């Protein structure tokens, strides 16, 4: 029982530390330092129609599938 309470307490403390760490995370790349990241050549989905087509070409001929990207997202540079 004691072990269980200790484990729970440790878990709660770890969660609190993690949350407080998240709250205090400072972006180490400032907005004014993101010019390179905002360049169109830095986009994983620079040509979405072409990327989607190549994914289809491979999926139709391979056993593997999934995690091809294209979830949106980005670098938040704009």
Q: Which residues bind to another protein, rule: CB under 8 A?
A: 22, 25-29, 31, 33-34, 36-37, 39, 41-42, 44, 46-50, 52-54, 57-58, 61-69, 71-78
**Closest distance to another protein from the beta carbon of 4 (Å):** 24
Radius of gyration (C-alpha) of the chain in whole angstroms: 21
**Closest distance to another protein from the beta carbon of 54 (Å):** 7
45 contacts: CB under 8 Å, gap ≥ 6: 51, 69, 70
**Closest distance to another protein from the beta carbon of 50 (Å):** 6
Q: Which is nearer to another protein, 6 or 76 (CB)?
A: 76
């Amino acid at each position: 029982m004691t072990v269980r309470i200790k484990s729970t307490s440790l878990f709660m403390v770890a969660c609190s530390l993690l949350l407080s760490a998240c709250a205090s995370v400072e972006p180490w790349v400032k907005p004014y330092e993101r010019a390179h990241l905002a360049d169109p050549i830095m986009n994983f989905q620079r040509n979405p129609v072409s990327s989607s087509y190549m994914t289809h070409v491979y999926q139709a001929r391979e056993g593997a599938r999934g995690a091809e990207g294209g979830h949106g997202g980005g670098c938040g540079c704009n």
